[in-house]
Structure 1
Amino acid sequence: MTRVGITFNKNHYLHDSLLNGYPCPENPLRIKNILEYLENSGLIDDDKFHFYDASPASMRDILRVHTGEYVDLIKACTRDPRQSPGKDVYVCPSSFDVVLQALGCVLKAGELVATGECKHSYAIIRPPGHHAGPDSCNGFCLFNNSGILARYMQEVKGLERIAIVNIDAHASDGTYSAFEADQQVLCISIHQNQKTLYPFKGFIRDIGVRPALGYCINMEMPTESGNPEYSLFYDEVAEKVLDKFDPQLVILECGFDAYHKEPLAKLNLTIDGYYRMIFKLASKWSVVTLLEGGYHDDLGLLASVVLRALAGIENIGDEVDQIDLLASRHVKTRKEFNNNLSLLKTRLEPYWGPWDRS
């Protein structure tokens, strides 16, 4: 069995804001840089990693999550790229074909794990998806990649317990809106304080709606939060809830904009922080990882860290001095984090508690 299967949408470069005459941080260089880094790293081999081709997704796959009216809107905008289907969203004449292939790569990544051909998988695709809801989109996203995979795994593969974990710096508001009432899909989103960052949704108080109260978990990370805070949240809340939920599959919305070099957010994860969370997830559950946000020069480096964590091989050395990083931030970060963690535990205790008080 191949340890990690990799897919990527080869036509992604046809979705490019420069075709409309203006720059955007979500552009073809993101995947180009990742693939070039992986090729030059010497990491990829057919023993632990393998690239797989994928066929485009179908309309039926999309309509499991999105409304027909919304799909028609996206198509109409591709015919007139001067129109935008949502805030901070662009389309090009070929964008619909691009997202069909991207979604095909996502579904292929799920198939590889469901059939046992691979233990884990990684879909390196764009555009991202976690801001796209059933009938709306924003934040560079068109269709909800993780949601479409989750519905496919439910309907086609018969899975009854799927967890979607978001570690993008921005809240997974589109995913929340698709699954807020579904007890078969546990959504955990770890993101920057939504008073300080787009989309200004995904607060600790948002825990889903009946009959799935408690099945949507939003942890707001104070600005400057880094490896220690993410580790505490994962160990004290995320892993314990996942243990109780016992997912048959974990879909990881893996954004790289919580990284300390990210210009569009104010979080301080380093490669060790990413590695630890993903390694722990992959040690317990089958994980399908999807590329989401991240708009800096280290995307290739972080993609290699994801692959190392999924495969269970040693991480590369972290260039960041953690003591210096901790010393440079405001003292209030840990205090605010502890308050947020305590508030979240209190809200979730009726559904997942009691928490270990030791």
Structure 2
Amino acid sequence: MTRVGITFNKNHHLHDSLLNGYPSPENPQRIRNILGYLEDSGLIDGEIFSFYDASPATIRDILRVHTKEYVELIKTCTRDSRQSPGKDVYVCPSSFDVALQALGCILKAGELVTTQECKHAYAIIRPPGHHAGPDSCNGFCLFNNSGILARYLLEVKGLERIAIVNIDAHASDGTYAAFEADPRVLCISMHQDQKSLYPFKGFIKDIGVRPALGYCINMEMPTESGNPEYSLFYDEIAEKVLDKFNPQLVILECGFDAYHKEPLAQLNLTVDGYYRLIFKLASKWNVVTLLEGGYHDDLGLLASVVLRALAGIENIRDEVDQIDLLASRHAKTRKEFNNNLSLLKTRLEPYWGPWGHI
């Protein structure tokens, strides 16, 4: 039996833009929707899936990725609601404590997997993290959740090779900034074409810097890309590089904004698309999944898909007619995708090729 551990920060509702007097799509209702759906579905049985409590992380944990000056900036902003530490980032008086609890849940998820208590884990936490770099933040993020977990596993648990895979619609620019020169960490991000979407970073040409050239991989997915394109990229590049790198653990930055109903992006992943990607990852490697973006009404549905894929149990029925979905999109999508895939293969050939022999 494949055991999957689940953590969530119970104080997440104290990080809420409405406390500052304005709405934001990144709000407490996101986790409420997920937990409500999971409870109603009856999926959490205490055998395959179980919830685990976690203690807050420490400042020392944060400083493995972020600078002291940046941590002090976050603290200062929490004391003055008129200040924001970055673009599209809000903080409240309790935001720092919420972030520490979220990071504690993430570290607990990593502990569950590295101690083999669970094969995989899912940290359902907020705020998200992948736009937070060592000394800056943007896009709803405060601290780099996946980066802090990766450094903890490297420096405290003694792991030597970790992969971070991003399937959020937005490029994982904060994670890139943290690990662009660290060959212990392989970063693979598949995200919407950055000419058309925030943060306007994470291009195919961006492959890291010495001594980690080739260890940061950015695949620009053309608008309207969906299940077929994600599957091709995973099979032809991502899985082959992962096989050669042979990570001891995979951290999945799992945003739900690549979903076809997402209002803030233009991608077309469906239930089956998410299930296939995560199932294939979990079939080969231990995976710690972290909630990132996603601002639509199906977050609970997709969270259940993540859990099913991690556990290797049957997926729920996909209600999307793939023929209709493919017929309705722009004809240039596949052509642009094939060009990007070919360009990325050429770019990575010196580091991971030849592709036919990996």
The reply to whether TM is greater than 0.5 is yes
Partner of 2:266: 266
Q: What are the superposed Cα offsets for residues 159-196 of structure 1, whole Å, 9 maximum, x if unpaired? A: 00000000000000000000000000000000000000
Deviations 1:275-304 (A, max 9, x none): 000000000000000000000000000000
Aligned position for 1:214: 214
Match of residue 192 from structure 1: 192
> Corresponding residue for 1:256?
256
Equivalence for 1:64: 64
- C-alpha offsets along residues 59-78 of structure 1, whole Å, 9 cap, x if unaligned? 10000000000000000000
Quote the residue 2:82 is aligned against: 82
How do 1:108-123 and structure 2 match up within 5 A?
108-123=108-123
Cα deviation 1:311-340 (Å, max 9, x = unaligned): 000000000000000000011000000000
* Structure 2 counterparts to residues 306-345 of structure 1, below 5 A: 306-345=306-345
CA distance in 2, matches of 1:157, 1:92: 33
User: Aligned with 1:293: secondary structure?
Assistant: coil
Q: Secondary structure at the match of 1:39?
A: helix
Query: In the alignment, which residue of structure 2 is the partner of 1:244?
Result: 244
Task: Please say if residues 169 and 257 of structure 1, whose CA atoms lie closer than 8 Å, have aligned partners that are also in contact.
Answer: yes
Cα distance in 1 for partners of 2:283, 2:3 equals 12
Query: Residues 199-232 of structure 1, C-alpha deviation per residue, up to 9 Å, x if partnerless?
Result: 0000000000001000000000000000000000
Is contact 1:123-1:290 (8 Å) kept? yes
Distance (Å, rounded) in 2 between the aligned partners of 1:282 and 1:2: 10
SS in 2 for 1:324: helix
Q: Which residue of 2 aligns with 1:234?
A: 234
For 1:154 and 1:81, the matched residues in 2 are separated by 36
Task: Tell me the SS of whatever aligns to 2:89.
Answer: coil
Per the TM alignment, residue 81 of structure 1 is displaced from its structure 2 partner at its CA by 1.2
SS at match of 1:18: helix
SS in 2 for 1:187: strand
- The 8 Å contact of residues 2 and 47 in structure 1, kept in 2 or not, is answered as no
Q: CA deviation at 1:47?
A: 1.4
**How do residues 132-147 of structure 1 correspond to structure 2 at under 5 angstroms?**
132-147=132-147
Q: Which residue pairs with 2:29 in the alignment?
A: 29
Task: Quote how far apart the aligned CAs of 1:197 are.
Answer: 0.0
Query: CA contact under 8 A between 1:260 and 1:268: conserved in structure 2?
Result: yes
Shift of 1:46: 1.3
User: Deviation of residue 2 (structure 1)?
Assistant: 6.0
Letter in 1 for 2:122: Y
Q: Is the 8 A contact 2:128 2:293 kept in 1?
A: yes
What one-letter code is carried by the residue in structure 2 that aligns with 1:75?
K
Shift of 1:356: 1.9
Q: Would you say the 8 A contact 1:2–1:50 is kept in 2?
A: no
Q: Is the 8 A contact 1:2 1:117 kept in 2?
A: no
What are the superposed Cα offsets for residues 246-305 of structure 1, whole Å, 9 maximum, x if unpaired?
A: 000000000000000000000000000000000000000000000000000000000000
CA distance in 2, matches of 1:328, 1:183: 42
- TM-score, with normalisation over the residues of structure 2? 0.99
Q: SS at the partner of 2:123?
A: strand
In structure 2, C-alpha distance between the alignment counterparts of 1:107 and 1:47, rounded to whole Å: 22
* Consecutive aligned runs of 4 or more in structure 1 exceeding 4 Å deviation: none
Aligned to 1:19: 19
Once the two structures are superposed, what CA deviation does each residue of 1:139-173 show, in whole Å capped at 9, x if it has no partner?
00000000000000001110000000000000000
User: 2:99·2:127 contact (CA, 8 Å) conserved in 1?
Assistant: yes
The answer for the alignment partner of 2:127 in structure 1 is 127
**Structure 1 Cα separation of the partners of residues 47 and 311 of structure 2:** 10
| Counterpart residue number, 1:5 | 5
Aligned partner of residue 7 in structure 2, secondary structure:
strand
1:171 aligns with 2:171: yes
Name the residue aligned to 1:102. Answer: 102
CA distance in 1 between partners of 2:232 and 2:125 (Å): 30
Secondary structure of the corresponding residue to residue 199 of structure 2: coil
Equivalent residue of 2:356, what SS?
Answer: coil
Give yes or no for contact 1:2–1:46 (8 Å, CA) kept in 2: no
Distance in 1 separating the partners of 2:100 and 2:218: 29
2:192 aligned partner, one-letter code: Q
Question: Over aligned residues, Cα RMSD in angstroms?
Answer: 0.7
CA distance in 2, matches of 1:355, 1:279: 23
| Aligned equivalents of 2:257, 2:3: Cα separation in 1 | 26
Q: Which residue does 1:354 correspond to in 2?
A: 354
SS of 1:46's equivalent?
coil
CA drift of 1:355 comes to 1.0
C-alpha separation in 2, matches of 1:49 and 1:207: 37
Contact 1:173 1:202 in 2 (8 A): yes
Cα drift, residue 42 of structure 1: 1.0
CA contact (8 A) 2:2 2:311 kept: no
Aligned residues: 357
